[in-house]
Structure 1
Amino acid sequence: MTKYTPGSVRFESVVKKFGEVTALKSLDLTIDPGKLVTLLGPSGCGKTTTLRLIAGLEMASAGKIHIGGEDVTHLTATYRKVSMVFQSYALFPHMTVRQNVAYGLTVKSMPKAEAAQKAEHGLELVGLAGFGDRLPSELSGGQQQRVAVARAIVLEPEVLLLDEPLSNLDAKLRRHVREEIRQIQQRLGLTAVYVTHDQEEAMAVSDRIIVMKNAEIAQEGSPSDLYEAPKSAFIADFIGDANLADCGVESVTNGIANVVLDDLNYKVRDGGLQKGPAKMVLRPHNLHLAAPDQAGIKGEVSYAAYLGKEIQYTVESAIGSLFVISGVTDKPFAQGDSVSIQFDADLARLVAA
């Protein structure tokens, strides 16, 4: 039986420069053993550079990197106990699935019979028992990605690295494969570092998410922490859909802010803010449309899209254009309708303006 010993990852003031360009500012992070942590952010934020530094495919310009308690700062990829699953799968088309999975083991001079046995076990772990004699071209995209995962985990890495592993799959298959990857990671207790730019994907698979912006960490925490308690307008807008409305904090008492929004008063958690301008975070699912004679912020529907289980609206109002998702589909509003926009202030959040 293959044994997996998950390792920790620790960066101490790690800097990476490419010539005059700083790809990663002084970065401190810790990834605990057995956890799946996602590096999330827009293109150019430094997430892939961070992954490559863990892998040993790039060397740090300054700082220290530890994997499993060992200082690996100056060790190349060959001498690090990590495996990577690439975006492109990188399977050899002329080799069978079994040979692809066993490839890394044979490169390390493991006897072919033992390597084949471990490869079969790896295929069992990813739900592909009996597929060993097929060629990659005879598999679906999702199956090929699972072969790539099997090839990585049979090397018994302390850390499994996944670089945009689902980007080549269609939306429905992505959802299915990400569930499988998460189940494999949890079942084996692997430490995994996952890179993606897809917020929903990150929230679905992660124990913890590290959101990066401009080569540094913008915020980190559990998916619920980032969604429910964003610390900036960038995080609020990046993690899930959000409406950001300019407002004013009139006073703060015992962690509750008295907020004025479109001449209406609301009691909202202060988010650590004091009196002054701020932005209120209003999630689309937390907004409700009512008849125009009811209380609320006045607006007009400029767009309505029926999607079966929900209707998505764009509503023009005094506080800006608002995106609203309503589960009430039996009495929809139409384009041009006047409405009142209501929300539960307990579900709103404040961030700095």
Structure 2
Amino acid sequence: MTKGSVRFEGVTKHFDDVVALKPLDLDIAPGTLVTLLGPSGCGKTTTLRLVAGLESPTSGRIFIGDEDVTHLSATYRKVSMVFQSYALFPHMTVAENVGYGLTVKRVSKSELRPRVEEGLAMVGLEGFGDRLPSELSGGQQQRVAVARAIVLEPEVLLLDEPLSNLDAKLRRHVREEIREIQQRLNLTAIYVTHDQEEAMAVSDRIIVMKNAEIAQEGAPADLYERPNSAFIADFIGDANLLPVEVARSGETVDIVFDGRRLTLPTAFSTTGQANLVLRPHQLRLSHEASADSLPAEVSYAAYLGNQVQYTLDTALGEIFAVTVPDATPFRKGDTVHVGFDPVAARIVSI
């Protein structure tokens, strides 16, 4: 093992009769940012708290670097956590908040001040040390929380829904700052969120969890372009899931939909009922029919400046499509034909 790595070996967690985490094997490489992503109750926060030492596993072993920390208390683990609520002391100055953990560890005053100043500089808050948290914006308060965590020089930085209290525009800005700091300091970081866009923006690797276990893991592009299930396809980005029949499987597949047979250059292992995955931006809308197109009626159209969003009614169900603005956009009630590139299509199990 390497400093900053995290490993779970068959880790489970039960709360009485509730299974919060099924047997989990997990390896996180040092210097990477890994996001635990999933809906509420999927096990992601439990996993983070197990790394932090805020929960003890029911079974299995947890390693940070070469050290078995399974039964080590949170105080003695080389981790720092950034909480959803910031958890800043309102009566302390920014500098005092950042230096609080160092004070608890009895770091000398001669060392404390430069480390606090360095931490504030890392998050772009030089000169803010004498202010109170109430005098800062939400984004600045979150950066104080990050500075407080990194001045402790942890082997692993844990972030629990760190941006959920910020508005959308500020979330985008702060997540970029967190990612830049993590990469610059080469920190190992575990990030928990239920926001798939946020996860894709900051992560080296995403672990999608469902029902207390891993549903799929990989780089953001892998999960988006090669989902292994309908759940992943729908959870990672917008997706249209259309029922089809797989007539022939293998390295390429033949599908039957809307009474037509079409060959797709994508691998699938079984035949029978399945879902065709079509991303909204990969669809093309036309007044003219083609061999692979579906007739549809526009039930909703919205112009959003840089894109036009359509909801379309088809024989296979409702389809959501996104196109670039056009001088003659389709309107509600129009009949259109929905086409797609077979190379971009994916097949997943129902």
TM-score over 0.5 for the pair: yes
Tell me by how many angstroms 1:133 deviates: 1.1
Q: Which residue of 2 aligns with 1:265?
A: 261
Partner AA of 2:191 in structure 1:
Y
Partner AA of 1:109 in structure 2:
R
Partner AA of 1:140 in structure 2:
S
Tell me by how many angstroms 1:30 deviates: 0.4
**1:277 and 2:273 are equivalent in the alignment:** yes
Equivalent of 2:201, from 204, 209, 213?
204
Q: Structure 2 CA distance, aligned partners of 1:136 and 1:264? A: 63
Q: Which moved more, 1:141-150 or 1:269-278?
A: 269-278
Equivalent of 1:300, from 291, 297, 300?
297
Q: Write out aligned runs for 1:33-182 (5 A).
A: 33-182=30-179
Tell me by how many angstroms 1:153 deviates: 0.3
Q: Structure 2 CA distance, aligned partners of 1:113 and 1:329? A: 64
Q: Which moved more, 1:111-120 or 1:317-326?
A: 111-120
Q: Which residue of 1 aligns with 2:252?
A: 256
Partner AA of 1:169 in structure 2:
L
% identical aligned pairs: 68
1:345 partner SS: coil
Equivalent of 1:184, from 160, 181, 186?
181
2:99 partner SS: helix
Q: Structure 1 CA distance, aligned partners of 2:227 and 2:244? A: 17
Task: Provide Cα deviations, 1:256-280, integer angstroms capped at 9, x if missing partner.
Answer: 1111121233222444322221111
User: 2:3, 2:64 within 8 Å by CA — same for their partners in 1?
Assistant: no
User: 1:292, 1:338 within 8 Å by CA — same for their partners in 2?
Assistant: no
User: 2:310, 2:322 within 8 Å by CA — same for their partners in 1?
Assistant: yes
Equivalent of 1:344, from 341, 344, 349?
341
Question: Unpaired segments of 5 or more residues in structure 1?
Answer: none
Partner AA of 1:229 in structure 2:
R
Q: Which residue of 2 aligns with 1:332?
A: 329
1:346 partner SS: coil
Q: Which residue of 2 aligns with 1:309?
A: 306
User: 1:267, 1:346 within 8 Å by CA — same for their partners in 2?
Assistant: no
Q: Which residue of 1 aligns with 2:214?
A: 217
Q: Which moved more, 1:136-145 or 1:194-203?
A: 136-145
User: 1:6, 1:157 within 8 Å by CA — same for their partners in 2?
Assistant: no
Q: Structure 1 CA distance, aligned partners of 2:298 and 2:45? A: 41
User: 2:249, 2:267 within 8 Å by CA — same for their partners in 1?
Assistant: no
Q: Which moved more, 1:125-134 or 1:177-186?
A: 125-134
1:334 partner SS: coil
Question: Unpaired segments of 5 or more residues in structure 2?
Answer: none
Q: Which moved more, 1:261-270 or 1:5-14?
A: 261-270
Q: Which residue of 2 aligns with 1:286?
A: 282
User: 2:238, 2:280 within 8 Å by CA — same for their partners in 1?
Assistant: yes
Partner AA of 1:276 in structure 2:
G
Q: Structure 2 CA distance, aligned partners of 1:270 and 1:146? A: 44
Partner AA of 1:225 in structure 2:
D
2:130 partner SS: coil
Tell me by how many angstroms 1:69 deviates: 1.6
Tell me by how many angstroms 1:337 deviates: 0.2
Q: Structure 1 CA distance, aligned partners of 2:132 and 2:326? A: 48
Q: Structure 1 CA distance, aligned partners of 2:264 and 2:35? A: 30
What do you get for the CA RMSD once the two structures are aligned? 1.2
User: 2:305, 2:325 within 8 Å by CA — same for their partners in 1?
Assistant: no
Tell me by how many angstroms 1:328 deviates: 3.5
Q: Which moved more, 1:320-329 or 1:109-118?
A: 109-118
2:249 partner SS: strand
1:144 partner SS: helix
2:333 partner SS: coil
Q: Structure 2 CA distance, aligned partners of 1:328 and 1:170? A: 27
Which runs of 4 or more aligned residues in structure 1 lie more than 6 Å from their structure 2 counterparts after TM superposition?
Answer: none
Q: Structure 2 CA distance, aligned partners of 1:271 and 1:252? A: 7
Task: Provide Cα deviations, 1:109-162, integer angstroms capped at 9, x if missing partner.
Answer: 112232121010001111111111111111111111010000000000000000
User: 2:303, 2:325 within 8 Å by CA — same for their partners in 1?
Assistant: no
User: 1:14, 1:28 within 8 Å by CA — same for their partners in 2?
Assistant: yes
TM-score (norm 1): 0.96
Partner AA of 1:108 in structure 2:
K
Q: Structure 2 CA distance, aligned partners of 1:26 and 1:294? A: 49
**1:238 and 2:219 are equivalent in the alignment:** no
User: 1:83, 1:155 within 8 Å by CA — same for their partners in 2?
Assistant: yes
2:24 partner SS: strand
Partner AA of 1:291 in structure 2:
H
Partner AA of 1:199 in structure 2:
Q
How many aligned residue pairs are there?
348
Tell me by how many angstroms 1:329 deviates: 2.6
